[in-house]
Amino acid sequence: MMEKLKLLYFLLGVIGPGGGTVLLVGLPNSASVMENQSAGTSIFSFSVSTNSTISSGFPYIINTSPLTKAFRIDYIGTSYNVALTGSPLLDFETTPNSFNLQIYVEDSTGATDLQILTVQLTNVNEPPMFLDNLANQDVSLYIIEGNSPGAIYQVLASDRESATNTLRYSLVPASAPFSINTGTISSTKVFDYETDPHSYSLIVTVTDPQGLSVNGSITVYITNINDETPYFTTTTLTYLIPEEQIPGTTVANITAVDPDADNFINTLLYSINTPTEYFTIDQLTGGIQIAKTIDREADPFRLHPNIVLEVMVKDRPSGGQANSTFITFIIQDINDNPPMCQQYAFRKLVPETETTGTLIIDLTNFCSDIDVDSPYNLFNFTGLSGLGSSERFQLSPSGSGKIVLIGNLDFEDPNNIAVGNEYSLTVAVQDIAAQYFKKYLYVYVKTSPVNEFPPVFNSSSYVFNISELSPATTKVGQVYATDKDYPYIGITYSIVAGGSTFGSSDIFWMDPNTGNLQLATKADYEITSKYIITVQAEDSESKFSTASVTVNILEANDEKPICVPNSYTLSIPVDQAIGTNIQNFKLTCTDRDSGPNSFRYFINSGNINNHFAFTPTSGSNITNLVLAVPFDYSSGYDTTWNYNLRVYITDDNIISASGGSKGVVQTGTVSLNIKVYIPGLTTIKTTTTPEVIYQSKTENSYSAVAWYIPFVITLGSVILLGLLGYLTYLFAKHCPCRSSPKPDKELLIKPAEKTKIKHDVFWEMTKINTVFDGEAQDPITGKIYEYNSKSGARRWKDTQLPVESEQILPQPAMNPNVLPTEKDQHMMPKGTPNKREKTPIGAENGGNQTNPSKPATPNRLQTANQTSPKLEPGKQSPIKRAHSPLSPRLSPKVAPKTPIGPT
C-alpha cells in the first residue's frame, strides 16, 4: 500500500511521504531556441519552492521526448537554467523541431514534483555553402594553349533555406577572359602561351535571395605545348653483337634533333617502345646498352636470334611531338657452355654373380651440349679412373660413355678389394673445341650380395633344464646358427612346433634376433615334465634350417597347501575346558607336491593371550582346533570376545628334487572367526504385547588396573558359601524342578496394608565405583537410594548399606517408535541399546536370532508375564532378580533383556 501511495505522490508532484511540499516554479512552460547554437546556450530559467532542502542537490531531467542528450540543467544563484550541452548539435533540417523535457525534483522529506518544459527549435537563415573543393581550399585549373573556348570548371553550391536554382554566381575581375553562368566557368578565347599571361586569379561569389553570400578562389594556369616534330640523324639501323655481353655494354648510339629547341640535343627524350628486358636506352643521349645477358642457346634466340627495337624520341615537355625508328640486333653464337648432364653422380647396383661384358651404364644418354652451332656443341668421354677400374671396368668403345664389366664381383673372392664392395669410378666429359670445357662424372658401382647358402645351426639338437619355480621371461637357453653368405644379413629365430600344453598354447618364447629361449608363462612339472620343440633359423630370403630342442622341467616345491574349510566362524563358551576340540573343528589339507605328513600348523595373528592351538601341530594333513588357555574375563586378563585367527600351514618340503629348489617352503592360509559367549544368557521379553520386544545389553566394564576386584570377588565368594544353604532353600521353594513352568498364582507385590512383604536378601559382586551419580525410589519400600549409572552399584541414601534385592516388576509397554529420553538414557547402564539400535532379526517375534524361522522358547519370565493369572494378595512372586558375580549391576529402571557378553 505504501508503494502505491508513493506512486500517487509522485504523479501528483505535490506532497511527498514526509509531509513536505516542493514546487517547480515557472513550470510547466515552453521555450524556443535557434538551431545550431553552441554548448551553454540558455533556453529557460525556473526556481524551486520548498520548505525543506532538495535531497538530490538540484532538479534534473529524467526523460526527453524524443530522447536526446542535448539539454542540461545549470544552477545559477537562486534559480535553475535549462541550457544546451552542444552534443548533439540541434539542426532544424536534420533533427526534430520540438522536445518535451520531464524535469523532476525531490526534497529531503520525500516530497516530489514533476513538470514538463516544451522546447521549440527555430530555423535560422544561413549563407550558401560550397559543395566542391572551394569549400575548404583554393582551386587550381590548367588550360593547354591553343584549345578552343569552353567550360573549364563547374562550381557546386547549395542553400538550406532556398532552392539551388535561385542562387546567383559572379566572377571578379570581370575583365578576365572567363565567364560564369549557373555555376559553369568557361574560357572566352584561345590562349597562346608565348603572348598571353601564364596564369589568372579569379574570385567566385555565390549569393542567396536574402543577400547572404560566400566567396571562393580559383587560379587558372596556361600550359605550353610543342608544335614541331623531332627527327633522327642516325643512318645505321642493323647491328651484329655476340651473345653473353656484359650488362651495361653500349651496342648502338641513336641521335635526333628538334626544330623547336634550336638544335639543342638536351631538349629531347629517347625511349624504347618495344617491350624488352635485354636493352635499355639513355633517355638523354640515345645510347643503347645491354640490360640483361643474352643467351644464344635460350629460347627464343636459339631459333630466332634477331631482336628488333622501336626507338622513339620526344621533345620536351612530355606530351609534345614524337618520332620513331626501328633498330635490328643480330645475336652471334660463341662456345660458352660445357657439356651438360642430367646428373653427375650415378649409383648402380650390380649382383655379385653378374658376368663379364655386361653394360653397367651408358653416360651418353645423360649428357649433351646446348651450344647452337658446331663445333661448339661436340664432346667426348675420357679418363676412366678409380679403385679397381682397370681390372673390372672399361670404356668401350674408347671415347664413348659406355662402361662395361671386364672382371668378377664375387663377394667371396678374396681379391675383391673394394671397400664395402663398392667401386668409385670417375669419367671426364669434355668439349672438342676451345674453350675445351670439362665436367667430371662419378659412377658408384655397388655390388649386391646374392643369397646362396641357408643358415646352419651349430648343433642339430639342444637339451636345456629349467625349474618349475622359474617365473615368466626366465631364460631357458640359447640356440645359434651361422650363414656362409657375405656380408651377414641377419638370421631370424622362431619356434615352429612344440612348446604347448593343456591350458596354455605358448609355454616358451624365442627372441627372433638372439635365439634366446625364454619362458612365456610359468611351467608346471605336474602337468608336463618335458617339452620337445622344433626351432627354425631363417635368413631374409626365406632360406632356413631347423633343430630340435628338449626342455626338461625340474620338479620343485611350488604348490601351496590347500585346506578346507578355508575360512570358518566358530563359537565357544567362556567356560570351555582346556584341551577340548572347539565345535569338533578340523582342518583337512592337501598339497600336490608334498606328502600328507609334511604339514606344520601355527597361528600367525589374532591369537590374543594364546587361547587357541592346533593338535597335532605337524606331521599330519588333519588337525584339530583346541582351547589351550582358559578365558579369564573376571580379572581383566581377557577383554576380547571376538578372535580373528590367521592360520599358516607350511608343507615343510625344504629339500626337493635337484634343480635349485632346495630350501623353498610353501605356505597356505586359513581364516577363523571365533566368538566367545556366556552360556545361559538369553533374550528376555519385557511386555505382554507380542508385537513389541525391548532388548538391552551390558558390557563388562572391568578395568585391568582395578587390583581390588579380585579381593572383592574373593570376599564375596566366602560370604556366598555361608548363604548357600539359604539360597538352596529359596530355590527349592520358588523354583521347583518340573518339566515345564507353571503359572504363578501370587501377586508380584503384596498390598502393604494386609501383609508385610518379606524381602529375600541376595549378595552380589559388582565393580566398585565410589561415585554415585543418580537417585531413585525403591518401588517396594519407597526409600530413596543412590546408584552409579555405569557400574550399577547402589546404596541407601545417607547410609553406607547396600540396597536389598528387589523383585522384578512388570514394565509398561512402550512405543517402539519413541526414543528414550535423556533421563532414560542416563539411567541405562553402559552398553545398553536404545530404540535407535536395531532389534536382531526375529527378536521382535520372540524368534531365534540365529535362525529367524525358528521361534524362540519363552523363558520363565516371559511365560509368567504372558500366561500367569493374577496372583492372590499376600503371595510373593517366586521370580527374583539374581545377579551373577561375573555380571555388573544394571540400571535401577532398566531390566536386563540380553545376555551379558560380546555382541
pLDDT of residue 624: 92
In which band, very low, low, confident or very high, does the pLDDT at 720 lie, cut at 50, 70 and 90?
A: confident
Cell of 861: 519370565
pLDDT of residue 38: 87
pLDDT of residue 261: 58
| Residue owning grid cell 658446331 | 374
- Residue 502 pLDDT more than 60? no
Could you report the per-residue pLDDT of 829-854, keeping only the tens digit for each? 444 344 333 333 333 333 343 343 44
User: Which residues does residue 80 pair with via DSSP β-bridges, in sequence order?
Assistant: 46, 75
Amino acid at 454: P
Mean pLDDT of 401-426: 80
Dist CA 716 CA 889 (whole Å)? 15
For 155-305, where are the E strands, in sequence order? Answer: 157-158, 168-172, 178-181, 184-187, 199-207, 213-223, 231-232, 238-242, 250-253, 256-257, 268-272, 279-281, 287-290
Dist CA 897 CA 882 (whole Å)? 13
pLDDT of residue 736: 54
- Residue 749 pLDDT more than 60? no
> Which has the higher per-residue pLDDT, 227 or 705?
227
Amino acid at 841: I
- Residue 894 pLDDT more than 50? no
Mean pLDDT of 631-636: 89
Cβ–Cβ under 8 Å, residues 606 and 674: no
In which band, very low, low, confident or very high, does the pLDDT at 707 lie, cut at 50, 70 and 90?
A: low
- In this structure, the strands spanning 322-332 and 238-242 are parallel
pLDDT of residue 732: 78
Mean pLDDT of 141-153: 90
Could you report the per-residue pLDDT of 232-270, keeping only the tens digit for each? 998 889 999 999 999 999 999 999 887 665 444 557 889
Dist CA 584 CA 578 (whole Å)? 14
Cβ–Cβ under 8 Å, residues 594 and 652: yes
Residues of the chain with CATH 2.60.40.60: 2-122, 129-223, 231-332, 340-448, 456-553, 562-677
Q: For the chain, what is the largest distance between any 2 Cα atoms, rounded to a whole number of angstroms?
A: 175
- Residue 869 pLDDT more than 60? no
pLDDT of residue 773: 77
- Residue 560 pLDDT more than 80? yes
Task: Determine the topology of domain 2-122 in CATH.
Answer: Immunoglobulin-like (2.60.40)
Secondary-structure class of domain 562-677 per CATH: mainly beta
Dist CA 243 CA 336 (whole Å)? 9
In which band, very low, low, confident or very high, does the pLDDT at 866 lie, cut at 50, 70 and 90?
A: very low
Dist CA 15 CA 111 (whole Å)? 5
- Residue 318 pLDDT more than 70? no
- Residue 692 pLDDT more than 60? no
First vs last Cα of the chain: how many Å apart? Answer: 68
Instruction: Please state the CATH superfamily assignment of the domain spanning residues 129-223 in this structure.
Output: Cadherins (2.60.40.60)
Mean pLDDT of 38-42: 88
Nearest to 476 by CA among 537, 407, 523: 523
In which band, very low, low, confident or very high, does the pLDDT at 227 lie, cut at 50, 70 and 90?
A: low
Mean pLDDT of 759-774: 53
Cβ–Cβ under 8 Å, residues 870 and 745: no
pLDDT of residue 802: 54
pLDDT of residue 306: 93
Please state which CATH number belongs to domain 456-553. Answer: 2.60.40.60
pLDDT of residue 457: 94
DSSP per-residue codes, 426-450: EEEEEESSTT--EEEEEEEEEEEP-
**DSSP structural state of residue 283:** T
Mean pLDDT of 795-812: 53
**DSSP structural state of residue 624:** E
pLDDT of residue 34: 87
pTM for the whole structure: 0.32
- Total length of the chain: 903
Secondary-structure class of domain 340-448 per CATH: mainly beta
Per residue in 333-372, is it b (16+ CB within 10 Å) or e — as a string? Answer: bebbbbbbbeeeebeeebebebeeeeebbebeebbebbbb
The values of phi and psi at residue 844, to 5°, are -70, -20
pLDDT of residue 56: 64
Dist CA 388 CA 444 (whole Å)? 12
Dist CA 515 CA 510 (whole Å)? 6
pLDDT of residue 280: 96
DSSP per-residue codes, 528-576: -SEEEEEEEEE-TTS-EEEEEEEEEEEP------EEESSEEEEEEETTP
Long-range pairs, 865-872, Cβ under 8 A, ≥24: 865/685, 865/686, 865/687, 865/688, 865/810, 866/685, 866/688, 867/743, 868/743, 868/744, 868/745, 869/743, 869/745, 870/747, 871/744, 871/745, 871/746, 871/747, 871/748, 872/745, 872/746, 872/747
Mean pLDDT of 666-688: 75
The values of phi and psi at residue 392, to 5°, are -125, -20
Cell of 625: 582346533
Q: Is 690 left (phi over 0), alpha (psi -120 to 50) or beta?
A: alpha
pLDDT of residue 278: 94
- Residue 540 pLDDT more than 90? no
Mean pLDDT of 512-536: 89
Cβ–Cβ under 8 Å, residues 660 and 554: yes
Per residue in 178-211, is it b (16+ CB within 10 Å) or e — as a string? Answer: bebeebebebeeebeeeeeeeebebebebbbeee
- Kind and range of the H or E element at 861? helix 860-867
- Residue 361 pLDDT more than 90? yes
**Of the ranges 333-337, 418-422, 664-668, which one carries the lowest mean pLDDT score?**
418-422
Cβ–Cβ under 8 Å, residues 258 and 267: yes
pLDDT of residue 841: 35
Spell out the SS3 assignment of 828-858: CCCCCCCCCCCCCCCHHHCECCCCCCCECCC
Please state which CATH number belongs to domain 231-332. Answer: 2.60.40.60
- Kind and range of the H or E element at 712? helix 708-722
**Of the ranges 169-183, 366-380, 422-436, 760-774, which one carries the lowest mean pLDDT score?**
760-774
- Residue 294 pLDDT more than 80? yes
- Residue 820 pLDDT more than 60? no
Mean pLDDT of 350-373: 89
- Residue 877 pLDDT more than 90? no
